[in-house]
Amino acid sequence: MKIKNTFMNLIGNNDPASKFNRKKMLTTLSPVIGLVALFILASSLSNVFLTASNLTNVLRQVSVLGFAALGMTIVIITGNIDLSIIGNVSMSTTLVAVLLQNGWDVVPMILVVLLASSTIGLLNGLIISYFKIESFVITMGMQVVCFGLSLFIAGGRTVIVDNLAPFMLNLASNKLGMIPVMFIILLGFYTVFYIFTKKTKMGRYIYALGGNEEVSYVSGVNVTIVRTTAYILSGLMAGVAGIFTFSRSLCGDPAAGSALGMYVVAAVVIGGTKMSGGRGSVLFTIIGILIIGIINNTLNLVGFEYYAQQIIQGLIIIFAVVISSKKRR
């Protein structure tokens, strides 16, 4: 009972007694069930899948996506969307490369990158709040702006860095046992954000904004600040994702973010967060990124024809979303 309670708390339900919750638990758990099913499928399709080194691989590969999806989850919980993330990741990646190339130290470099990426978030939040427009096209426009900026920063080419500090050199490859350090850092971020969204005042306002903006407003909450906070966090995470993207390839590719493409939103929704806002949990986004990571890993391991890979990937995403949703009526 104690364990169940803790679990129910984890999934954001503080009321374990009621009948509704068993049903709710099941629907909240469905992403986990999907993950397990995919896990079994993957191991039966490829005997390499379950090897330790492959699993390490998967964890490393999902990390960048994980940072981006964390920010996206926060924004989606507010009932908005942030398509600028992938542009922002590109911009941050090239900025990392250019700063390092120009001999900056790691710490000031990180600070400047995060400042720049958060500024993009700040702008998103302010424009959307001030003009009261839908976030989709605004952040889409911002994505294009960011791509332009990253081409500008990189001077149109992949930026190569000559004398890399060991810290940056090993950031992606370091491991703690079998677990990549990147992934541990990712889990750290998720934990902090989880506590932030569930236990702090601002976190609750973020949920409330997605639930009913009007009520937040008439209850005296400054919705502009809440929304902008969410976007700043999302920008910040795009910056972190950019730093790790750099650490994976050790160069600044101005199109780096486009590899994330649609996976960011897909991971969030597969994790059970509703795009209509107000519902979901950052923790479950981890499930979402793992599902996506395993799909891509397995498709590579099994080595289907490329067109078949696309078809299978699309179908599995559809399937995963279907599983992680429940009937409303």
Partner 1 sequence: AKEAEPTSTTGEDFLIGISQPFMGHPIRQAGTVLINAWLEEHPDVEVMVTDGQLNAAKQIADIEDMITKKVDIILVAAHQSPTLVGVLREAKAAGIPVIAFDRTLTDPSVQVGMVVNDDYAAGASAAQLLVDKLGGKGNIVVLQGPAGNTTVTLRQDGFLSVVNKYPDIKIVDDQVANFQRVQAVDVFENILQANPDIDGIYCHNDEMALGCVKVLKDAGITDIITVGIDGQKDALEAIMAGDYYGTIRKVVEFPAALDMALEYLKTGKTTSMNYLDSIPITKENVEQYYDPDAVF
Partner 2 sequence: MNKPMLQVNNITKQFPGVKALDRVSIDLYEGEVLCIAGENGAGKSTLIKILSGVFMLDEGEIILNDEKVNIKNPLTAIELGFSVVYQEHRLINNLTVAENIYFGRFPMKRGFVDYRKLNDDAQQILNRLGMNIRASELVSSLGSSQSQMVEIAKALSVGAKIMILDEPSAAITDSELEKLFEIIKDLKSEGQSFIYISHRLKELFEIGDRVAVLKDGKLVGVEKVSDIDTKKIISMMVGRDLGEVYRPKDREIKEEVLRVENLTNDIVHDCSFTVRAGEIVGFSGLVGSGRSELAESVFGYRKRRAGDIFVDGRKVRIRTPKDAIANGMGFITEDRKTTGVILNKSVAVNTTFAILDKLSRAGFVNTREEKVLVDNYIKKLKIKTPSDKQEAQFLSGGNQQKVILAKWLLTESKFLICDEPTKGIDVGTKQEFYNILDDLARQGIAIMLISSELPEIVGLSNRVYVMQEGRIVKELMEDEISEETITTYSMHEME
Task: Give the other-Cβ count within 10 Å of 310's Cβ.
Answer: 12
In the bound state with partner 2, the residue whose beta carbon lies nearer, of 90 and 281, is 281
- Kindly compute the dihedral angle of the four CA atoms of residues 5, 8, 12, 14, in this order, to the nearest 10 degrees: -40
Would you say 298 and 269 are in contact if contact means Cβ atoms under 8 Å apart?
no
Question: Among residues 37, 259, 275, 312, which is the contact residue for partner 1, using CB under 8 A?
Answer: 259
Distances (CA, A) of 75 to 135, 176, 195: 10, 31, 16
Q: State how far the Cα of 162 lies from the Cα of 139, in Å rounded to an integer.
A: 34
Per CB under 8 A, 258 contacts partner 1: yes
Q: How far is the CB of 131 from a copy of itself (least distance, A)?
A: 5
In the bound state with partner 2, the residue whose beta carbon lies nearer, of 56 and 212, is 212
Per CB under 8 A, 108 contacts a copy of itself: no
Per CB under 8 A, 43 contacts partner 1: no
Per CB under 8 A, 1 contacts partner 2: no
Per CB under 8 A, 159 contacts a copy of itself: no
Q: How far is the CB of 94 from a copy of itself (least distance, A)?
A: 11
In the bound state with partner 2, the residue whose beta carbon lies nearer, of 17 and 176, is 17
Per CB under 8 A, 175 contacts partner 1: no
Give the helix/strand (H/E) hosting 160: strand 159-160
In the bound state with partner 1, the residue whose beta carbon lies nearer, of 122 and 169, is 169
Q: How many residues bind a copy of itself (CB under 8 A)?
A: 49
Distances (CA, A) of 147 to 72, 85, 90, 100: 18, 10, 7, 20
Per CB under 8 A, 303 contacts partner 1: yes
- Structure token pair of residue 77: 């919980």
Q: Which residues contact 26 (CB under 8 A, 6 or more apart)?
A: none
Q: State how far the Cα of 48 lies from the Cα of 326, in Å rounded to an integer.
A: 34
Would you say 192 and 67 are in contact if contact means Cβ atoms under 8 Å apart?
no
From partner 2, partner 1, a copy of itself, none, interface partner of 301 (C-beta below 5 to 8 A by class): partner 1
Window of 136-144, 213-221, 253-261, 263-271 that interacts with partner 2 by CB under 8 A: 213-221
Q: Which residues contact 146 (CB under 8 A, 6 or more apart)?
A: 84, 87, 88, 90, 91, 120, 257
Which residues contribute to the site for a copy of itself (CB under 8 A)? 83, 127, 131-134, 136-138, 140-149, 151-152, 156, 262, 265-266, 269-270, 274-276, 306-318, 321-322, 325, 327-329
Which residues contribute to the site for partner 1 (CB under 8 A)? 46-48, 51, 53-54, 57, 60-61, 64, 151, 154-158, 160, 172-173, 245, 248-251, 253-256, 258-261, 296-297, 300-307, 309
